[in-house]
Amino acid sequence: MPGVFQRRYPGYCLFIGLGDGGESESRLWAIRAALLPILAASMVAWITESVVGQQYAAGGGQPTVASGGPAGYVQPPAVAVPGGGSPGASRNSPPQPALLPPPFVLSPVEQANLERVLRAWEERSAAVKTFECDFTRWEFDPVSGSPNEPARISRGKILYASPDKGLFRVDEEVREGRFQPAVLPERWLCDGKSIYEYRFETKQIVETVLPPELRGKAITEGPLPFLFGASAESLLRRYYMRIITPSNVQGEIWLEAQPKYQQEAANFLKAELILKLPDMQVFALQLFYPSAHPSTQARKVYQFERVKINAVDPLRIFKEDPFQPHLPDRSWSQTVESSGEAAPGGAASRLGSRPVPQQPR
């Protein structure tokens, strides 16, 4: 497989860490380290984490320019503290999201080019009403293995219906050198009113009811809007972004995004994505996860294929609604929890945490 990727997508080998070994692979990783100095959850994180993600995505007010730090750094507004703080500040006011310092500063030309790309992406994405694709996912975890060898390779499917319905599922994984049914499959779906997590280890479907203010919201306003492309304004408000396309890559645009706010950075540190020209469709997405040291940083890489946009299926009326939960068999049960009762180990936190290799039972 590495050879095929190198022939078809020479730059993509840098992205997922596939090489041919020896000196050439060392050169690839040296170039990759230079290109990516310092980013997809499973992909459904942009659905499930919207329960908690909207509060920092909206942000509040315009922060003031700080006196120190890199040029362009903005300091978050002061937060009122009980027993102190600014005169007249309400003690019951919610704390403002913590703004992180920028990892880089763009020149005016670089900023203009980035905004041009994001506007073109937004225009293309606005026409997407339904979306379907298959994906392959590579999970790298240096703690449990080599940083350049995937701890798990899996395949699955993504479905989307504008503005707020989505499905993410993983059905197969590589075991004994070939794809086989996953030991513990993954499945998440959103019907616009609730998020449903299939917990195969306990044979439960856990429904998280969305609060009224989040129902009907576009999935692209969730914490990971990269698959379908959110508005340029929303992306620039929430992420430090730049174009990182290697000079030897043609027909693609590579983007890097790092969260501006601490709450979102707790789920992922950096995202890198490849857009294929001319239709600006996402071809690959990589996520880097929080780690105490770069040598232990886990990451996931997704490649999307067999993409169908606004496809018409004349047999759809005879099929099950993919955005409605169905118990796989009678041994399963379904429970309900409100968005405020979601446990720390629930969908949102697990989707944004270090990947855990599944062991056959």
Each residue's pLDDT tens digit, 20-72: 344 333 333 332 333 222 222 333 333 333 333 333 333 333 332 233 333 33
Dihedral sign for Cα 130, 137, 5, 286, please.
Answer: positive
Where exactly are the structural domains of the chain? Answer: 1-35, 43-59+95-351
Q: What is the pLDDT of residues 4-25, one digit of tens each?
A: 333 344 344 445 544 334 433 3
Residues in the chain: 361
- Considering the entire predicted model, what is its pTM? 0.70
What's the CA gap between 112 and 46, in Å, rounded? 27
Mean pLDDT of the chain: 73
Task: Between 221 and 234, name the one with better pLDDT.
Answer: 234
The residue among 281, 303, 275, 28 whose CA lies nearest residue 138 is: 303
> Which residue shows structure tokens 């439960």?
204
* Per-residue pLDDT at 73: 34
The residue among 39, 43, 26 whose CA lies nearest residue 188 is: 43
Q: Over range 125-137, report the average pLDDT.
A: 91
Pair type for strands 204-209 and 333-338: parallel
Looking at domain 43-59+95-351, its CATH class is mainly beta
Q: What is the pLDDT of residues 236-267, one digit of tens each?
A: 999 999 999 999 999 999 999 999 999 888 88
